[in-house]
């Protein structure tokens, strides 16, 4: 078991306000625990010797071409998609998580049909607006941060912040939002820009 004082690579707080957890506990900020957890159970994702707290109802890990992915469900909706794995004893194959896994498997097989999965990303009203706009970008197409910002009456920097805070990447396709001039921009998923390029190549938006 990893030391309780190892730096946490990321902490995602499910239903808690995104404005709180993404700004004060953002994935790029190293954190430490002051005392060890009393138990390890559902809600803990292991990745690279570190662990991240996830107080949610159910999780399911799947293999994908871009690494192991863990889907999280709470109150009948998908609340996060993270890179990493949940220990086998703590996984739950709920009907919704199985449906989400099937949607992603079809996606990686080249079927980019729209899905009707219930998604409940935690975030401010502004970030919800950005994420909804991202979902309207079809597979095989991209927009720049500036173009997306113009479409919702905002600024590119704020849109970029919402992209980085997206708790359900791939299903909410922040990888389809690029920097000005066709630059790839950043990506919060494991592998960063290379994973973003891989997803865009899969969709035929990048050669």
Same domain, 136 and 75: no
Res. 144: pLDDT tops 80: yes
Active site residue 174: yes
Extract the runs of DSSP E, i.e. beta strands, from 101-199: 143-144, 177-178
Residue 119 lies in a domain: no
User: What is the tally of structural domains in the chain?
Assistant: 2
Of 18, 13, 14, give the one whose Cα is nearest residue 124.
18
What's the pLDDT tens digit per position in 161-202? 999 999 999 999 999 999 998 899 999 899 999 999 999 999
In this structure, the answer to whether residues 135 and 71 fall within a common structural domain is no
**pLDDT (tens digit, 9 = 90+) per residue, 91-133?**
899 999 999 999 999 999 999 999 999 999 999 999 999 999 9
What is the reported pLDDT for 57?
77
CA 18 to CA 90: how far, in whole Å?
A: 25
Distance CA 59, CA 93 (A): 8
3-state secondary structure of 128: helix
Same structural domain, 25 and 71: yes
- How buried is 50 (Cβ within 10 angstroms: 0-12 exposed, 13-18 middle, 19+ buried)? middle
Alpha carbon distance 83, 61 (integer Å)? 9
Half-sphere exposure of 14 (CA within 13 A, CB side): 20
Instruction: Give the whole-angstrom CA distance, residue 165 versus residue 41.
Output: 26
- How far is the C-alpha of 167 from the C-alpha of 179, rounded, in Å? 20
Tokens at 146, concatenated = 């500036």
Pick the catalytic residue: 21, 26, 163, 174?
Answer: 174
Mean pLDDT of the chain: 79
What's residue 56's pLDDT? 59
Of the residues 108, 135, 160, the one at which a domain ends = 108
The alpha carbons of the chain give a radius of gyration, in whole angstroms, of 17
Place of tokens 């980019």: 112
Tell whether 31 is covered by a domain: yes
For range 48-70, the mean pLDDT: 77
pLDDT score of 40:
30
User: What CATH number is attached to the domain comprising 156?
Assistant: 1.10.10.10
Which tokens sit at 123?
A: 């975030």
- Containing structural domain, residue 74: 18-108
Where a domain ends, among 47, 82, 108? 108
Q: Is residue 72 part of a domain?
A: yes
Is 115 within the bounds of a domain? no
As a whole number of angstroms, the distance between CA 200 and CA 106 comes to 16
Rounded-to-integer distance, Cα 98 and Cα 61, Å: 10
């Amino acid at each position: 078991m990893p030391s309780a004082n190892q730096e946490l690579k990321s902490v995602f707080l499910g239903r808690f306000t995104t404005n709180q957890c993404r700004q004060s506990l953002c994935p790029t900020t190293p954190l430490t625990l002051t005392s060890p957890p009393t138990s390890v159970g559902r809600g803990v994702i292991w990745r690279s010797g570190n662990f991240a707290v996830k107080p949610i109802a159910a999780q399911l890990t799947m293999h994908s071409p871009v690494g192991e992915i863990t889907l999280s469900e709470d109150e009948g909706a998908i609340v996060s998609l993270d890179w990493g794995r949940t220990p086998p004893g703590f996984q739950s194959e709920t009907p919704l998580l199985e449906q989400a896994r099937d949607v992603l498997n079809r996606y990686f097989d080249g079927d980019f049909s729209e899905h009707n999965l219930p998604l409940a990303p935690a975030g401010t009203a502004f970030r919800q607006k950005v994420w909804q706009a991202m979902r309207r970008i079809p597979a095989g197409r991209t927009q720049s941060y500036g173009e997306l910002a113009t479409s919702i009456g905002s600024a590119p920097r704020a849109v970029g912040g919402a992209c980085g805070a997206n708790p359900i990447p791939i299903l909410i396709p922040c990888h389809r939002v690029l920097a000005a001039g066709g630059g790839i921009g950043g990506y919060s998923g494991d592998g960063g820009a290379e994973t973003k390029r891989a997803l865009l190549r899969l969709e035929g938006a990048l050669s």
